[in-house]
Chains A and B, each alone.
Chain A
């Protein structure tokens, strides 16, 4: 192309892009005038503009690295040609795709050639999925159908499962379609097959599906890549059972197989046990995971509903569409776009794309592609019959397309379908009268409760026609609180709803209008939605609630109530809600038991409720910090608004501002009679576990909670926390897993599990859970800290640096910096550690989190004390104390002061802590004993082989003080995990034994710290424990570490008997332990007191 021409193209391209998308084509056509070549060039470039958006956005090195990773992943256990795998000899590689790598192999037993397919890792790891796959693949294979690929065998090779199947020669339909149509973008080219050929293949596939469905097997993933066409022209359906699904197939009355519950969907009223979709039924758990198959999903699959055989017919319809037109029925640039198309768009009529296609074939495709499965072909046999009839008629020439004649009714159907999709609930529009009539009708005709305990319900935003803005968000929140009391109803959480909006590609604060609510309802697999409205009737307020089945659009019941004034609206809403609960199937006993009036469990002040509602909305759209001002406002408007206090407490604690949080939670606890039963339990646990620290009490409340609301995740989460504090990590793991099972998409479950895995040193598991969380877009500051700790435990320095860099400017910045400071200290780089702590404190301050800043500073003081810089320790502790009050900070400062020998100040701070929270378990049994033990030991406690009588005396006293800590010493002493301070009492005990000359006992304590590297994490106590151990061995070997030259003269007076004969092995152990410490600290700053001492001690060993 000449450069002038190219300039023209370029100019037009950019000008067109400036136009509104709808007017672009028109613009280009006009601009190109009579130059068709120019028009084609510009148009085609514009076509590629959108697809190219993400193209080359990742740097080339990234692309290359991914390719390499892919190659290596595939190659991890990749068999080599010529290798024998059991009795199969690999001959060559046939290919690879999303479903695994395929090899040609020879079966040595039977002397035949077979295909070996290694399954993708995601399947290999999921035992249940694997079992199901084997079961179904076997069942499908057992059908012995000529159009179903036969499975001969299953096996595993180095842990990777493979299947042995009949060797097919030919191509997949995907390859065939691509070969003839090219890629998807360039528009229509000639069809790959003749119509007869297509009809023949289609009949074969329909026959295969019919056979499978008759035996209760659904394929679930019918797509061109799964249909093979052999060289002899036979169609073969591949990969039965590979798609994710719910276990527990049943056969429905109509003969098509179904999975999970059919009862509630069809409204027959019988709900089989376990009809909630289980965790793995969610074929999409996050954006991107379904990549690749979305285009062939049925609408019910896209909505994650229970499936029956008709899903395969829809998918097959999409395959037929592509086969005949060369284009996908539901194209889109992203999974979300494709899903949206599957759910709501009518594809371009096939004959518009391929005018050669006979009308009858088009009708068949359209019928298979009906979105409503009741309108679709009801069985594969029915589809097959139509195809057969079509072929017969084609043979006799009847069905050949008459050019220009369109399939009658197509447009009309498309129209109807669009109307259906824009389906709005006319109930409200038509007025309350209609609703009331329907309600009566419904009451007469109802036989079974419309909802069961397994069903969840979506709350739509209220339609507010009063013109009073105050009702906008408040009524929905009030209704939510009211309904959440019920152990029966399961209102979809605000969090989940906003997450779903995100998946739908909508802003998270989108109004849940009827249409949007319905989509959320369908997507989340909820059963019903509750539509509320408030309007004026004369001077009265009329409130109506309408429960609607979101699939059928049927009303499940309507309730109305009236209020004669604004002040009574909440009461009226409460009445309507209570009646609605009964209507939806909750027992009267349950309603009576859990029916605190709405204005009581929230607030009687509409203004306060409004502030609260705005706060909750902000919370789920903008995060914790932004919600706080609204909730504060709510508590100001109504100081007795317990729920608002409770949430404020929670949020402040999350933001590492414990003291502020405690004040709120204490207030909420005092007012706990004014909240719903569930919220009361929540407040009580919060109060006991975080405020009073009475863990046993907290655990008791959790047990009650578990029984009252068995579906609730929260008690498991709490118990998980409590057990972590108590150091019972196995039990904690159990509770967290249960929490994860109940609520697979919760950020905190991931965080908890990762933390426990790290503590238990299960690094692979931790990695896995963190990757999962990350890939789901779950990030929280804690999660980032865990990722850092994982890298630390693995010794992966570059990764650690990356984690810190990634957090720069993020909310987690200070916490990552604090971790990095600890790491430097762990390696003896005290100067760097100090600098990092300084930056940590600055970062917290920048975010306005003064208490967090002070806490980090106090942690720095503690570090100085550990390292023997007493002056610095005191200075920093004092500075931290001067910044702001705070429980955690004060605890750390007191400990630092005690270790630095300032017992007076340490006692003072500890005393004030005790006075403030006299019943705090953690303080009483963990921190105070540790602080007192150090105060008792005094500043001059040193490792001594011949301790003085007074040293022995204070040592015994310290050991006694530390006794009550024993049950907790291997637990987490604070719920603010990000703060890495653990095992201090163990260290104190070890040091005490050293000062008493009891080497063996000291060694045991320090060994404990070394053995719990996961629990210790980056906390420098882990490094110092190595020195402690060395000293303990030296004492055992009878070495005098005190440096007191006169000590030798008093040999044998105290615990120094060992010095009579120095056991050489103890000495060797001591030496190597010192060396190990020196190696760890090889780059340490030379002037750290504890290091200088260690060097001097080591010199004595020589």
Chain B
């Protein structure tokens, strides 16, 4: 596989504070890496160093094999970058702005017009092309920023919160766009929207206090949730106690948690020990003993609780 983005020990120290601490990452063609972390974890600072905008205190970064400090112009040719907050020139129109970016990217004549039109179509900017950027809504501004990053069909895309400020439809469109272009590119997106990671990323890197604390597939991260593989069933209140005891005796089942009673019965959740598959055993037992259950399903676990337990030590127990 082609390694398109490679960083080695990226570190940034501001005064006495280490904002990014020895981040080493490799992103291959076809990968969409979701960069996760609480606010202030060092996501944006890391991205600024990967792009070569910020000089790291230590470590290096290369895009398509070109070191961003030694060969900045070569490296940046391969890069499409949406900086934090999608900064744009407020007095320009989206078309004027994209034509400027295209010219800087070395595009000329018919090719330039074609690429600008493609970027406009991909990000659905047609209706606001002639309006000054400062008069656009947040969603349109973000899309102008995206169009600018995609314009030259770069090998590497680094997008700092690409869907921030977009409505659910626009978010869906942008995720679809990222998904469609992903096979030929290496993409890093930062986000704090966890569902986005599940929706578009093939890999999730969690960063907290400047350090990488997890590097896994989204499914792998979810599997770390204590609820992952747990079985929840709704049982008639009369037999709740008996079923609860029976659940506890099944091999592979750890704790059994009793939830609130509702109109249909009582919710019981049987947690799996060490990732054991308990669903089949529970289903068979339920059938054999004719448990009065109205619902039985396997929990996926959620990224939310994994994220909180990874990035916030005090939440670890609660999760």
Say if A and B assemble together.
no
